[in-house]
Amino acid sequence: MSKPGNQKQLDTLLQQALALQQNGALAEAEELYREILAIRPKHFDALQLLGALSLQAGRLDDGIAFLKKAASINGMHAPIHSNLAFALNAKEQYKEALASANRALALMPNFADALNNRGTALGALDAPAEALASFDRALALKPGMPEAWNNRSCVLRDLDRPAEALTSCDQAIALRPSYAEAWSNRGNALSDLNRPQEAEQSYRQAIAAQHTLADAWNNLGLTLVDMNRHADALSSYDRALALKPDSAEGHWNRALCLLQTGNLDAGWQEYEWRWQRNRPQAGRRAFAQPLWLGVEPLEGKTILLHAEQGLGDTLQFCRYAPMVAKLGAQVVLEVQPELMRLLAPLEGVRQLVAHGQPLPAFDYHCPLLSLPLAFKTDLASIPGNTPYLFADPAAVVHWGTRIAAAAGAASPGAAALKVGLVWAGGNRPHVPELRKNDARRSLALARLAPLLEVPDVQFFSLQKGPPAQQLAALSEHREASRGVVDLTEEITDFADTAALVSNLDLVISVDTSTAHLAGAIGKPVWVLNRLDTCWRWMLGRDDSPWYPAVRLFRQPTLGDWDSVIASVGRALAALAAVR
């Protein structure tokens, strides 16, 4: 008669448990593994197999605990470290996941699963080129690995190679036709390629394969926005959040859609989820002082208001500083260095500080884009009075002289309409979401060529950055562009831009910081606006409650700049004729 718990009995139980696990009977297998561990708590195979089973069952914390215990008994088993990497990736602990994947590969250099898990960690750590190399090594070893094809598509998007990402998703789906995550990522690639109708089909395939996949519902909402179907998009975000209530991306996308549709009260509240996002990283500040969101009285207190996003955001929301000051607060405003001279006279600001410089003592803080929530801003209470920023009078005179001198040599006439042009926003290539927005809001100067033919208009370039070089290139073969005056080399900051713009009659700009600057100083500005508009321009209107001098020219369909330019051309010709 065999002794209870002898090796033969344990081996039999282990083989039975493994067979049950391989056949999908996870609960029965787990019961046997736990029976083995009750007899022998440090049974290595039972620990590591129960760890893998826990991961299969979606119990990540249990799986990590069992695998770590197994690794403490025998750290030379590569699959344990690879499984740990998988679980840590799922927990978004990417540095630890990378370390575990590297330990697995040190033990087994040609371990395809570990290479796949390493690639996932590298992609999340913003190393897409290294991640791609890791996925490619995995697939060279194991071409029939749908997970690696799918994960590879994600880093190809990060590398701005959406067509290849689409192909990679197709490879994954060919290997596993019901692969919901791959269908969803295929939709992402199609969205990058500005093919929203096809993207919608892919997301719906993902949902058909796995109706509980929150990411697919969330991504579907994004592509519905691209098709101007905002009510449907909100329903899709609601489905995503019902499945995954703590999804920062779901709340963020819902916030943008609510703000676009004018539901500001709910939108501002959802907008606070921006701090929980992983990509792009929000600029959350770790201050010891409490966050102020309109509750605590500020009489006699000092509050730090701080910029958190782009230059245009600062220009738009610095308007709240005087409102905070009227609550009795001493206002310290921290902004980007490029805005220091322009914002120095801003009403209500006791001290202006450039970002990166030492801060004075303060009692509360508030990011600029949380101020609308603090003041419970709705459509009726948007503080839309302009101007609230002003160019320096001496600088206005200086730039007026420069404009007159430069235009004298190129002007079609002394009475010509003076119009500033901006055709491209900044380029943020490191995150697909931002890169896609930047590409969609910008256009090549050559697309604006019909405007340059409008008579009795003198154009001035306000374009900065690499796209400014397009003016010289266009001038080589298009005569009308040779009359565009370019003084941007003399611009040192936004105070100079404000003084230059103050001497113009009109600014025509894509959705970028110069449009906000012109609006803030009360200069008429025509915004060339993409269909999937930034939330601040809302929907279905050609004006803006934020800036009375703004006129919006919207794309009727995604990417249709020709219609926008034709409308602007007609309006410009009419304005020049009146002038």
Residue 314, domain member (yes or no)? yes
pTM across the whole model: 0.89
What is the domain range of residue 512?
393-578
Residue 330: give its domain's CATH number: 3.40.50
* Pair 536, 416: CB distance under 8 Å: no
Q: State how beta strands 330-335 and 302-306 pair.
A: parallel
Last residue of some domain: 341, 374, 407? 374
Q: Alpha-carbon torsion 293, 433, 203, 141, what sign?
A: negative
Do 439 and 478 lie in one domain? The reply is yes
Do 355 and 461 lie in one domain? The reply is no
Residue 21, domain member (yes or no)? no
In the block, residue with structure tokens 């508030």: 366
Residue 17, domain member (yes or no)? no
Do 440 and 571 lie in one domain? The reply is yes
Give the pLDDT score at 1.
34
Alpha helices (H) in 488-533, listed in sequence order: 494-502, 513-520
DSSP 288: S
* Pair 274, 252: CB distance under 8 Å: yes
* Pair 471, 486: CB distance under 8 Å: yes
Do 433 and 560 lie in one domain? The reply is yes
Do 367 and 503 lie in one domain? The reply is no
Per-residue pLDDT tens listing for the chain (579 residues): 344 557 887 878 778 877 887 888 888 887 887 878 788 888 888 878 877 888 888 888 888 887 888 888 888 989 999 999 999 999 989 999 999 999 999 999 999 999 999 999 999 999 999 999 999 999 999 999 999 999 999 999 999 999 999 999 999 999 999 999 999 999 999 999 999 999 999 999 999 999 999 999 999 999 999 999 999 999 999 999 999 999 999 999 999 999 999 999 999 999 999 999 876 655 678 899 999 999 999 999 999 999 998 999 999 999 999 999 999 999 999 999 999 999 999 999 999 999 999 999 999 999 999 999 999 999 999 999 999 999 999 999 999 999 999 877 555 556 799 999 999 988 766 666 778 888 899 999 999 999 999 999 999 999 999 999 999 888 777 666 678 999 999 999 999 999 999 999 999 999 999 999 999 999 999 999 999 999 999 999 999 999 999 999 999 999 999 999 999 999 999 999 987
Token pair in block for residue 388: 């609230």
Do 413 and 355 lie in one domain? The reply is no
Do 423 and 331 lie in one domain? The reply is no
Look at the chain and report how many structural domains it folds into. 2
CB atoms within 10 A of CB 286: 4
Do 541 and 472 lie in one domain? The reply is yes
Beta-strand ranges (E) seen in 321-414 are: 330-335, 349-354, 364-367
Distance set, CA 353 to CA 97, 139, 218, 286 (Å): 40, 52, 39, 18
Residue 339, domain member (yes or no)? yes
Do 439 and 334 lie in one domain? The reply is no
Do 370 and 501 lie in one domain? The reply is no
Do 520 and 551 lie in one domain? The reply is yes
Last residue of some domain: 374, 408, 428? 374
Do 349 and 481 lie in one domain? The reply is no
Residue 442: give its domain's CATH number: 3.40.50.2000
Residue 327, domain member (yes or no)? yes
